[in-house]
Amino acid sequence: MSENIVEKINSILPQTQCGQCNYSGCKPYAIAITKGEADINQCPPGGEEGIKNIAKLLEVDFKPLNKKHGITKPISVALIDEEACIGCTLCILACPVDAILGATKKMHTIIEDECTGCELCLNPCPVDCIEMLPIKEGNGNQIISRRKSNQARSRYEFRINRIERDKNESNAKRKLLASSSKKSRLINEKRKSISEALERIKKNEF
């Protein structure tokens, strides 16, 4: 199936980027559906509405949410107890949309408007100072607003690109270091053999 179908499925998915579908984000799950590697009912935040929309797009039968992947909860945002935070930065590393601000040994805080409610920052926190606050009561719909989901998609893609770029830069630096140390070893070996040759010439002359 084409990239176009992947994008259409991805645009139905809620962009919570929580990984409950067993994929690292909404787009990888969309790709897996198009490849026939994942079923259409693995996204708890998208709930029944999401499954119905994907089924309609792909012209396949609706099937209820596979509860193995979790249940659809009311949308919520994370809140850090800033008094208890020890500034370990583990939550920043876990957040798929860069919604947490802070620095090493400094108190951390959540940018509420960017938080998708994915809960991925909860487990890594060593002092349990993050809690989820539901911001939408009652209907069990975890789908965030279209504006917020577009924003989450861009922030997720930006983060993935940044991680990839940082990895490439650090690989390039490692290669550069390796090649410059190889170069200086060759230069040293050359210098050594020239000076040994000169020594031999001197000895033969006198």
Bridging pattern class, strands 109-110 and 130-134: unpaired
Query: 25-28, long-range: CB within 8 Å, 24+ apart, which pairs?
Result: 25/96, 25/156, 25/160, 26/153, 26/156, 27/153, 27/156, 27/157
Task: Tell me the chain's radius of gyration from C-alpha atoms.
Answer: 27
17 near ligand SF4, judged by CB under 6 A = yes
Tokens 């029944």 label which residue?
A: 48
143 near ligand SF4, judged by CB under 6 A = no
- In DSSP terms, 134 is beta-bridged to 76
Show the site string, 154-193: x = touches ligand SF4 by CB under 6 A, - = not: ----------------------------------------
Size of site (CB under 6 A) for ligand SF4: 45
Min separation Cβ 53 and ligand SF4, Å? 12
Question: Which member of 6, 97, 143, 144 binds ligand SF4 (CB under 6 A)?
Answer: 97
d(CA 46, CA 144): 9
Show the site string, 24-43: x = touches ligand SF4 by CB under 6 A, - = not: -xx--x-------------x
- The residue type at 103: A
Which residues of the chain form contacts with ligand SF4 (CB under 6 A)?
A: 13-14, 16-21, 23, 25-26, 29, 43-46, 78, 80, 85-91, 94-95, 97, 99-100, 102, 108, 110, 115-121, 124-125, 127, 129-130
